[in-house]
């Protein structure tokens, strides 16, 4: 039996890696992948807690999170495609036409 | 567990909107490129039908209705907020009818996305579980990401939408991480169950504090509270003007429902823990929103910062953490919806200009050329600045009263000082309109639908400022004071 704290530890580490990825990487696709990492760490948390409490709520929540993560990425990639078509931009530091 | 007829009836308004959008998307194929306004009229009809369904629920006297095993709870607060969403979405659609034709983005999907977003807001308003709140918030946000980037030929629009969607996804991941810890610590995601668990626990673990900070970050992003506001000015500038109005009014209001549900209701037993965090968020929002707005040259960016500041004021009612505070927030957001939609209506009228009426200097000398339009703008600006006898003053007044009755006089004083700072940049626009000579000819778009929006907003701003009692009474009844 793996103790709960191991799962939480894994989730926290994964979340940190994801957050660091979003904040430090420039390529927009890598940033989106890092967001996926963060969302997956949430899923680990939810399923682990659900198992710990002995109810299904955590697993149900995780399924919804997976679905919404897919929807979110679909919208983000759609916007990225039109950005690339219009301005050939792949990196977040080129998004600098608006200031103030 | 079975889904019964009562569950279906409880979410009937949401089902009407969600179902009709799917039909509308099919109808869209049958409508020619020139007649897309028909989609707008049909959307208005859908909102009207949903409003009737909501209204009939309040008639039957059976509120609050609980459904889906505690996922959904339709109470009077939910109905009040839904009315704000209906008004905001309907007025946005009316602003859009001519605007999207002018900007060459006359597509049926525009209205469908707006209605999907409305569905998300309605679900958020009647949620009583973190899962349904999360689903509602995301269903609200995803169509708005697409709407911000709707002018695909405009590089600015794509850029604003990209920033918004990355930061939005990041913030919802942070929020979800907070939610997962709340679930772990309390063993439930139901709001009432969370309150119960927190009340019966004798010691609060440190992880709870971290979870609360993460929730504040996630929801604070949705209301564009400082320091989670970075996306707001860019997204507001990039979006089509009616969508800017929609985001600043409806999306913000929906996020405040979450604050009412999760913080005021769910976290009621640990009020000291979150009060301080939200106070910092509110003060920073008022400070940054109202001071950075002074430096703006683009009126949409200026209104973005003004909207950040208004988010700070509305948060004060949440910080009071009393039923009175909640009712003051509800009234404030209703008032804010009318005055902000009104001023964006004026901006939409100016969009025939080269710069699209987006620069503050575009309004130089407007009073000499079109006195009526300048007067209308003056009233909306006075209302945003909170000058009596407009509705903006009454809204601020009730929020500050709720704070003072809770003994947080110092916070009310700070807020009043910031609203004096805010008056400066609103009155600067008035000064440009009235004190300067016009440098050029103005050309306006004056479609009937935009004029109707401006008229409705104007009447509401004046009526709510002079006779707010009836609406205040409704809000107080909703939270159970009366």
Q: Tell me how crowded residue A72 is: count the other CB atoms within 10 A of its CB.
A: 23
Outline where DSSP puts E strands in B131-234: none
Taking the C-alpha atoms of residue B275 and residue B263, their distance in angstroms, rounded to an integer, is 9
Q: How much is the pLDDT for B353?
A: 66
Taking the C-alpha atoms of residue B403 and residue B321, their distance in angstroms, rounded to an integer, is 9
- How many angstroms separate the Cα of B20 from the Cα of each of B33, B292, B352? 21, 42, 33
Q: How many structural domains does chain A have? A: 1
Q: Is A10 on the interface with B (CB under 8 A)?
A: no
Residue A98 within any structural domain of the chain: no
Residue of chain A with shortest Cα separation from B300: A100
Domain, as residue range, for A79: 4-92
- How many angstroms separate the Cα of B46 from the Cα of each of B17, B106, B135, B261, B457? 6, 19, 22, 27, 21
* B170/A76 Cβ within 8 A: no
From the list B155, B180, B298, the residue facing A49 with the nearest CB is B180
Residue A66 within any structural domain of the chain: yes
Q: Which DSSP state fits B11? A: T
Taking the C-alpha atoms of residue A3 and residue A46, their distance in angstroms, rounded to an integer, is 15
Phi, psi for residue B74 in degrees, rounded to 5 = -90, 105
Phi, psi for residue B456 in degrees, rounded to 5 = -60, -45
Distance from CA of A39 to the nearest CA of B (A): 6
Residue A100 within any structural domain of the chain: no
Q: What residues in A contact B180, CB-CB < 8 Å?
A: 11, 42, 45-46, 49, 58, 61
Please determine, for residue A1, whether its predicted confidence score (pLDDT) is greater than 90.
Answer: no
From the list A65, A68, A97, the residue facing B156 with the nearest CB is A97
H-assigned helices in B355-408 = 366-369, 371-385, 391-405
Number of A–B residue contacts, CB under 8 Å = 127
Q: Is A14 on the interface with B (CB under 8 A)?
A: no
Residue A85 within any structural domain of the chain: yes
From the list A19, A60, A79, the residue facing B161 with the nearest CB is A79
Residue A99 within any structural domain of the chain: no
Percentages helix, strand, coil for chain A (3-state, rounded to 5) are 80, 0, 15
Residue A97 within any structural domain of the chain: no
- How many angstroms separate the Cα of B55 from the Cα of each of B60, B80, B86, B250, B468? 9, 10, 12, 19, 21
CA dihedral (B106, B306, B217, A94) in degrees, to 10, reads: 60
Percentages helix, strand, coil for chain B (3-state, rounded to 5) are 80, 0, 20
Give kind and range of the element (H or E) at residue B72. strand B72-74
Q: What residues in A contact B145, CB-CB < 8 Å?
A: 75-76, 79
Distance from CA of A1 to the nearest CA of B (A): 18
* A8/B237 Cβ within 8 A: no
Residue A10 within any structural domain of the chain: yes
From the list B145, B181, B187, the residue facing A79 with the nearest CB is B145
Mean pLDDT of A48-71: 94
Of B23, B52, B236, B49, residue with least CA distance to B111: B23
From the list B169, B177, B297, the residue facing A72 with the nearest CB is B169
Residue A14 sits in a domain whose CATH number is 1.10.287.3510
Segment-wise mean pLDDT, segments of 10 residues, chain B, 482 residues: 83 95 94 88 97 88 83 93 97 93 88 97 95 96 95 88 94 96 93 93 83 95 92 93 95 95 93 93 95 92 95 95 95 96 92 76 88 94 92 95 94 94 92 88 85 96 93 90 77
Give kind and range of the element (H or E) at residue B193. helix B191-200
Q: How much is the pLDDT for A86?
A: 86
Q: Tell me how crowded residue B158 is: count the other CB atoms within 10 A of its CB.
A: 26
Distance from CA of A2 to the nearest CA of B (A): 17
- How many angstroms separate the Cα of B390 from the Cα of each of B55, B189, B252, B463? 28, 41, 21, 8
Q: What residues in A contact B168, CB-CB < 8 Å?
A: 72
Residue A36 within any structural domain of the chain: yes
Q: What residues in A contact B304, CB-CB < 8 Å?
A: none
ipTM for this prediction: 0.96
Q: What residues in B contact A55, CB-CB < 8 Å?
A: 187
Q: Is A87 on the interface with B (CB under 8 A)?
A: yes
Distance from CA of B466 to the nearest CA of A (A): 37
């Amino acid at each position: 039996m793996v103790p709960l704290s191991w799962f939480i530890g894994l989730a926290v580490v994964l979340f940190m890696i994801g957050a660091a990825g979003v904040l430090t990487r420039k390529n927009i696709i890598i940033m989106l992948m890092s967001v996926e990492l963060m969302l997956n760490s949430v899923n680990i948390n939810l399923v682990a807690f659900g198992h710990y409490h002995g109810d299904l709520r955590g697993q149900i929540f995780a399924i919804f999170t997976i679905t919404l993560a897919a929807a979110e990425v679909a919208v983000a990639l759609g916007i990225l495609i039109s950005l690339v078509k219009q301005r050939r931009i792949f990196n977040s530091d080129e998004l600098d036409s608006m200031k103030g | 567990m079975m889904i019964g007829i009562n569950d279906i009836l409880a979410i009937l308004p949401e089902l009407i909107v969600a179902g009709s959008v799917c039909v509308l998307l099919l109808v869209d194929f049958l409508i020619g490129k020139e007649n897309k306004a028909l989609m707008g009229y049909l959307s208005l009809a859908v909102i009207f039908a949903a409003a009737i369904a909501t209204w009939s629920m309040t008639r039957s006297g059976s509120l609050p209705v609980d459904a889906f095993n505690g996922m959904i709870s339709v109470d009077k607060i939910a109905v009040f907020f839904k009315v704000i969403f209906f008004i905001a979405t309907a007025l946005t659609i009316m602003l859009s009818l001519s605007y999207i034709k002018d900007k060459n983005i006359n597509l049926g999907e525009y209205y469908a996305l707006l209605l999907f977003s409305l569905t998300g807001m309605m679900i958020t308003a009647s949620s009583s579980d973190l899962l349904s709140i999360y689903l509602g918030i995301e269903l609200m946000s995803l169509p708005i990401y697409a709407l911000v980037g709707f002018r695909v030929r405009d590089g600015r629009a794509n850029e604003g939408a990209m920033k918004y969607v990355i930061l939005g996804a990041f913030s919802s991941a942070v929020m979800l991480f907070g939610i997962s810890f709340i679930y772990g610590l309390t063993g439930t995601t139901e709001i009432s169950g969370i309150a119960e668990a927190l009340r019966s626990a004798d010691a609060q673990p440190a992880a709870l504090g971290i979870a609360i900070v993460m929730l504040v970050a996630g929801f604070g992003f949705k209301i564009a509270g400082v320091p989670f506001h970075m996306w707001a000015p860019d997204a507001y500038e990039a979006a089509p003007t009616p969508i800017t109005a929609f985001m600043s009014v409806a999306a913000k209001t929906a996020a405040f429902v979450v604050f009412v549900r999760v913080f005021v209701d769910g976290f009621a037993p640990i009020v000291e823990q979150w009060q301080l965090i939200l106070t910092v968020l509110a003060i920073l929002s008022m400070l940054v929103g109202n001071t950075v707005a002074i430096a703006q040259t683009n009126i949409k960016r200026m209104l973005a910062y003004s909207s950040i500041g208004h988010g700070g004021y509305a948060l004060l009612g949440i910080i009071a953490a009393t039923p009175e505070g909640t009712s003051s927030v509800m009234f404030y957001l209703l008032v804010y919806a009318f005055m902000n939609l009104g001023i964006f209506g004026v901006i939409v009228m100016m969009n025939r200009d080269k710069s699209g009426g987006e620069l503050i200097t575009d309004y130089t000398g407007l009073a000499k050329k079109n006195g009526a339009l300048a007067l209308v703008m003056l009233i909306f600006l006075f209302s945003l600045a909170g000058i009596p006898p407009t509705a903006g003053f009454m809204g601020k007044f009730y929020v500050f009263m709720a704070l003072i009755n809770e003994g947080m006089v110092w916070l009310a004083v700070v807020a009043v000082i910031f609203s004096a700072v805010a008056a400066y940049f609103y009155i600067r626009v008035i000064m440009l309109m009235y004190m300067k000579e016009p440098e050029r000819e103005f050309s306006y778009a004056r479609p009937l639908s935009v004029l109707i929006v401006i008229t409705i907003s104007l009447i509401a701003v004046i009526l709510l400022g002079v006779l707010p009692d009836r609406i205040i009474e409704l809000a107080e009844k909703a939270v159970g004071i009366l």
